[in-house]
Chains A and B, each alone.
Chain A
Amino acid sequence: MIFVVVLVFAVLLVLGLPIAFVLGATGLAHLLVIGDPSYYPVAIQRMFSGINSFSMMAIPFFVLAGEIMNKGKITDKLVDLARECIGFVRGGFAYTVVLVAMILSAILGSANAVAAILCAMLVPEMVKDKYSPEFSTSLIASSAIIGPIVPPSVTFILYAVLAGTSVNALFLGGIIPGILLGISFMVIIYLKARKEKYPKYTDKLDIKKVLKALVVALPALVIPLVIVGGILTGAFTPTESGAIACLIAFIAGKYIYKRLKWSDLPSILGNTALVTSAIMIIIAMGNVLGWTLAIDRVPQMLSDAILGVTTNQAAIMLLILLALLFIGMFMEAFAAMVIFVPVFAPIAVAAGINDVHFGLVFSLMISVALITPPVGMVLFVSSNVTGVPLAKISREVIPFVISGMAVVLLVAFMPQLVLFLPSLLL
């Protein structure tokens, strides 16, 4: 029976149906094979309940905050700040990109959003500065996966809903791994910059200019502080902090930077709705397939298979990481989460792995898979924006994938990296 499911899924995916419909249609096909009509109405209920949750409401607000910031040209100010801070070294522009991605990640919740904004904005500039389009695109695509790891994060919200883990703990736990990812990408830039003789971006470090850029960027930097601070102190739930972030982003764009008009609002709201719906419909449809697999006891079988081979914590972690890498190579991240969080989270807990730690490792691995050829979603998005062929990006991105994997392994086997901040602050 599972064979049928995998076959239907693979065929529809390759034919090129939207992922959401692939998941839903596979779920329904599975129900037909199971053949019990009393299950049919439940499929509709599963779609509804998949998105009927208070925490999910944070997702549209994080997307909206990003759309407002982008329209209000707040991102420009972040680039100015990052350039003044780190532009003076060899390969300064490349470092700037990583730094901007890290700050932007603390505002936007998803890798696709970060990649789309930065590719459109920075790749032409990088090419002017003598970086190859392939390197520029793959660098930005890689930096974008810091997006789901540094809070706020759509990925963490979905994980928390699916696994019943604390969103706040995941948000705090993501800070150190996110910074580690940034540093690991900078190491790659350092190695490449020496070989390729990349230029500097600014002449020297000028503290005055740094301070000036900081003052200009301050309203934009307040947003992550409010989000993380609000959650940290327990003042806001993630959903509330998302709504507040929208308000601040709007005030900053309208009254401080004076780039937003009231008449921009309908298109901003419309865009947000389309981007969010595309994510939510994947979650809704994925929730059907996740449930039909559960009817067929697939999670149970996988769990028995893994726990039957070994009960060693480290070995289980490695097995799950391998499985996720494989899944992530062929499946969109949110779809993979809806189906596989309910499968793997209980196994990890049974093996005695801390649930927050595992949530972080899971999200990290699935994010690195976003830039893993052949089928990395963020690679597709970046390639679409910049027009650099996928094959070329796929080659350039490999060093970044490897350093991302190194961070995954580090975080997987050093739980303190994740658990330190939550245990200190919550």
Chain B
Amino acid sequence: MKELTARFIPAVSNKVVEIMGLLNKFTFALEKIGMGFLIAGYGTMTVVALIEVLRRYFFGLSFNWSEELVRFLLIATTFIGGAVAYKKGSLVLFDVLLNRLTKKKSLILSVINHSIILIFMIFLTKLGLDYIMQPSVMLQSSPGLGLGMMIPYAFLPIGFIMIILFCIEYILTGIRDIYKEGGIAQ
């Protein structure tokens, strides 16, 4: 029995290390893609808004789609940006309790916190997907761009799914670090 576990545990932990390596690579790429989207989105928003002001001011003309495009981009970047900011740890929070605990306790607390976020985000993703699958949303198109309303709304669940993936990484790394600190029992 002892032999079995001795052989079993390294095998499992190797597997875990392998999976975590893959997950880390994946979330790293995801963060980069998200960041690229944010930069492109904000660049587009700024340029379109500027052209729009100048056109309106000097020529009295305006596109009827540009305002809507900027609005939708703001929504899309908010949820993608929220996910990237979560990954970077730059969302505003009160860290008074987290700072007062010992290192290991604060690690445990942050695993608990990320688990709560995970549950919350899974729930939101389900609501989001249900929402965009409704016929009333799927068949509706926006007045300016003529874009299906599904598309701007889809960025909500996309952002939530990104957060879920980042969450899982946070939780697994957290658990690993707790064990490094000497296990929960101590």
- Interface residues, chain A, with chain B CB atoms under 8 Å away: 12-21, 24-25, 28, 40-41, 43-45, 47-48, 51-54, 56-57, 60-61, 64, 235-236, 239-240, 243-244, 246-247, 265-266, 269-270, 272-274, 276-278, 280-282, 284, 332, 375, 377, 380
Contacts and interface: CB of A to CB of B under 8 A. Distances in A.
A61 B43 CA distance: 11
B71 A15 contact: no
B16 interface: no
B38 A21 contact: no
B91 A20 contact: yes
A31 B131 CA distance: 16
A44 B38 CA distance: 22
B109 A16 contact: yes
Contacts of A12: 116
Nearest to B93: A18
Interface stretch (B17-25, B94-102, B169-177, B178-186): B94-102
Contact of B46 (A64, A274, A277): A64
A273 B41 contact: yes
Given A52-B71, A57-B49, A16 B131 contact: no
Task: Name the prevailing secondary structure of the A interface residues.
Answer: helix
B84 A274 contact: yes
Contacts, number: 165
B85 to A, nearest CB: 5
A244 B93 contact: no
A28 B120 contact: yes
Interface of B: 35, 38-39, 41-43, 45-46, 49-50, 52-53, 56-57, 67, 70-71, 74-75, 77-82, 84-86, 88, 90-98, 109-110, 112-113, 116-117, 120, 123-124, 127-128, 130-131, 134, 152-153, 156
Contact of B92 (A15, A19, A61, A280): A19
A384 B70 CA distance: 33
Given A41-B130, A52-B71, A277 B50 contact: no
Given A43-B127, A236-B53, A21 B117 contact: yes
Contacts of B56: 240
B117 A17 contact: yes
6 contacts: A17-B113, A20-B82, A20-B91, A21-B117, A243-B53, A281-B81
A275 to B, nearest CB: 8
Given A14-B94, A14-B97, A15-B112, 17 more contacts: A16-B96, A18-B92, A21-B91, A43-B124, A51-B74, A51-B75, A57-B71, A235-B57, A240-B49, A270-B38, A273-B77, A276-B78, A276-B81, A278-B81, A281-B85, A375-B96, A380-B94
A4 to B, nearest CB: 16
